[in-house]
Amino acid sequence: TALGRGDSVVVIGLGRFGQALALELAESGVDVLGIDTDETIVQDFNGRLTQVVRADATREEVLRQLGVADFTHAVVAIGSSMEASILASSWLLRLNVPHVWAKAITAAHGQILTQLGVHHVVYPESDMGRKVAHLLRGTIADYLDLGGGFAMVTAQAPALMTGKPLDKVGFRKKHNLNVVAVRQPDGSWGHATGETVLSRGDTIIVVGPAAVAEGFIDMT
């Protein structure tokens, strides 16, 4: 389901979650179509995504006209209206978009989306709450303050770092974080280089400015 060359993503609903998602994808070179009913938001995002359209994503003919069926991935990021989220998701599935993701606000909302057949249901608020709890308990990652504003974090490689050489991921350039080591399947550590290709679940050591290194946990 991970994005590959030639893949394109339609993001429906450019609220806080949808905006962050769409911009992050666009900045990493992914072809992104943003759809929102709010004219101000659409104007604001004009030129920052491949295409931004003011439209009601709950209407089938609108989605058809926008060529949504040709996209490989869709993310329904509408949170304010459960009905709109469910309708948009159901059309995307009907249009056979191969990878449909949707954000759920409540467990019941998530259950409905799952029953509809949405491939990936995400719960950003509850996930983040759990993640912060892990951080507080120190279970997700080791965190070492190196002094001088630098820190070292041990964590699982976030999806956006996997599948291609670190040189190509451009993580150091984008986030000012350097991957220094990768744990091998046998438990020993090896150096990470520009040629290293990380896989999901790999444990890595990352070094960089403390504030960025802390934020790294949110990407895992």
Query: Under the rule (CB under 6 A), what is the footprint of ligand ADP?
Result: 12-18, 35-38, 41, 56-58, 77-81, 84
CA distance 45 to 132: 30
Of 41, 30, 35, the closest CA to residue 77 belongs to 35
List helix spans (H) across the chain: 16-27, 39-45, 60-65, 82-94, 107-116, 124-137, 166-169, 171-175, 210-219
Cβ 81 to ligand ADP, closest distance in Å? 5
Given the complex with ligand ADP, which of 16 and 134 has the nearer CB atom? 16
Cβ 41 to ligand ADP, closest distance in Å? 5
Cβ 56 to ligand ADP, closest distance in Å? 5
Given the complex with ligand ADP, which of 58 and 156 has the nearer CB atom? 58
Cβ 65 to ligand ADP, closest distance in Å? 14
Given the complex with ligand ADP, which of 8 and 19 has the nearer CB atom? 19
Q: Which amino acid is at 69?
A: A
Given the complex with ligand ADP, which of 55 and 197 has the nearer CB atom? 55
Backbone dihedral angles phi then psi of residue 77, each to the nearest 5 degrees: -110, 25
Closest residue to ligand ADP, judged by C-beta, is: 15
Q: Which amino acid is at 9?
A: V
Given the complex with ligand ADP, which of 38 and 70 has the nearer CB atom? 38
Instruction: Give the Cα-Cα-Cα angle 13, 49, 174 (nearest 5 degrees).
Output: 110
Cβ 85 to ligand ADP, closest distance in Å? 8
